[in-house]
Amino acid sequence: MMKFIFLFIALFISFSLHCQRIRNVRNEIKGELMYISYDLEECPDSVKRSHILISYEQIYSSPKEGNNKGIIGNVTTAVGDINKYITCGKNKSVIWEYQKDIMNGRESQIELYPFIKQAEEEESISLLAKNRFSELKMGDKDKDFTPITEFRGRYLPPQTDVYVLSIGTASQLSHNIYAENDAALFAKYAEVNLSIARENVSLLLNPDSALFIQNIKRLALLAKAMQGKATFLIYFSGENIVEQDKMYLLLNDGGYALQEMYAELTQFPLNRVAIVLETDFSITKEEMIVPDKKRIKENLAVFCAASPEEENLPIMALEYNLFTYSFLKNIRDTYNNVAYREVFSKTKDFVSKKAIYLGEKSQMPIVYSSAKTGASWKSWNFLK
């Protein structure tokens, strides 16, 4: 039986854009779990949270091979205050199934160095887009597009029973080059314009399958624990692939079947699930998107950026996609009763008209719903 020796050092920050520091890091191993806690301090008034990531370096040795170089790995089996935006404060906690992440070779001794670090914050992404907008000379076709990074808080009590998962996947080879901008903006709007509790808003940029599945399963468990009271708002901007009459959301290392995501999120009673898809539908068919009547028994509605056989068009001047721009703008500019029906109706009208100007193409947003939901999604409200 192999003997593992773990040497833990103080976890430190790789860089800090706004001078926050990770302090007072503690860790404890109980069986197969490592419990990590830390404080996020020295936060300026202008920035109240940071995108916290976790990774590790594994250094091992064996009698035959001697010392080996460190191997950098991404943590995919941890839950808690990591891999999303975390509010500043003390006693942040992480639970990590470390043995599932590290390499299980023939090594007889391991030194494991975990790192908690901060990534670039979504505020900086939004400001960057705003600054680029101010430098561009808008043409006649762009006159109706205004900066979307002007947030308007509603000053309402935080919605604590609503959970948001915003995913953006992009690469140099991707058609959807603004996916990360879209997802970061959607997460910010959820918090500021929809008054959803900060700790309930998760942002995943270019996640791999393990991290994506981990977050979907976490939501499913929340639904089980909340016994029908949970509301989920899922946003995805990125590419998809179609294989054997199935549509897959393209992640950093593969795809995840859309119908499987529906089924996973609705396996326990809940209030409702709203899924927003900003992706290319040019090679999809309607039956790939419509929730399976036999498997999906809960309230679920899917808001698509375009209809089957249509592309989703970008706004080059703003560096966001057309549907997401209009969808969020209508959320922001609808004041009292932020109804799904009104927001989507205005978005559909705007997108269908502007797509002709932007690309001389048809883009008609569409909604698909589960059998239980039917047309009742039209009575849903973002603030309830």
Pure H helices in the chain: 98-101, 122-135, 179-192, 209-226, 258-265, 286-289, 322-333, 340-359
Residue ending a domain, choose from 70, 87, 118: 118
Q: Are residues 193 and 82 in the same domain?
A: no
Reduced to 3 states, what is the DSSP secondary structure of residue 258?
Answer: helix
pLDDT of residue 20: 55
Q: Are residues 36 and 68 in the same domain?
A: yes
Q: Are residues 200 and 55 in the same domain?
A: no
Q: CA–CA distance from 71 to each of 16, 59, 68, 88 (Å)?
A: 24, 6, 9, 30
Single-letter amino acid, residue 320 = Y
Q: Are residues 176 and 218 in the same domain?
A: yes
How many Å separate Cα 370 from the centre of its chain?
A: 23
Nearest Cα residue to 217 out of 271, 272, 256: 256
pLDDT of residue 162: 96
CB atoms under 10 Å from CB of 109, counted, come to 16
Pure H helices in 167-257: 179-192, 209-226
Q: Are 215 and 204 in contact (CB under 8 A)?
A: yes
pLDDT of residue 205: 92
Q: Are residues 44 and 162 in the same domain?
A: no
Task: Give the pair of three-digit tokens for residue 204.
Answer: 């995943």
Q: Are residues 57 and 127 in the same domain?
A: no
pLDDT of residue 270: 95
Q: Are residues 231 and 315 in the same domain?
A: yes
Please list the ranges in the chain whose pLDDT falls under 70: 1-20, 44-51, 53, 55-76, 83-85, 101-144, 151, 171-175
pLDDT of residue 105: 40
pLDDT digits (tens, 9 = 90+) for 275-286: 999 999 999 999
Reduced to 3 states, what is the DSSP secondary structure of residue 142?
Answer: helix
Long-range Cβ pairs for the range 330-335 (8 Å, 24+): 331/189, 331/193, 331/194, 331/382, 332/150, 332/151, 332/152, 332/189, 332/193
The CATH number covering residue 275 comes to: 3.40.50.1460
Nearest Cα residue to 237 out of 164, 163, 308, 186: 186
pLDDT of residue 66: 52
Residue ending a domain, choose from 83, 118, 153: 118
Q: Are 105 and 123 in contact (CB under 8 A)?
A: no
CB atoms under 10 Å from CB of 54, counted, come to 21
Residue ending a domain, choose from 70, 91, 118: 118
Q: What is 320-358 written as a DSSP string?
A: EEHHHHHHHHHHHH--S--BHHHHHHHHHHHHHHHHHHH
Q: Are residues 97 and 157 in the same domain?
A: no
pLDDT of residue 48: 58
Q: Which domain holds residue 252?
A: 122-379
Q: Are residues 106 and 135 in the same domain?
A: no
**Phi/psi of residue 74, each to 5°?**
-95, 135
How many domains does the structure of the chain reveal?
2
DSSP 8-state symbol, 200:
G
Q: Are 352 and 128 in contact (CB under 8 A)?
A: no
Q: Are residues 182 and 310 in the same domain?
A: yes
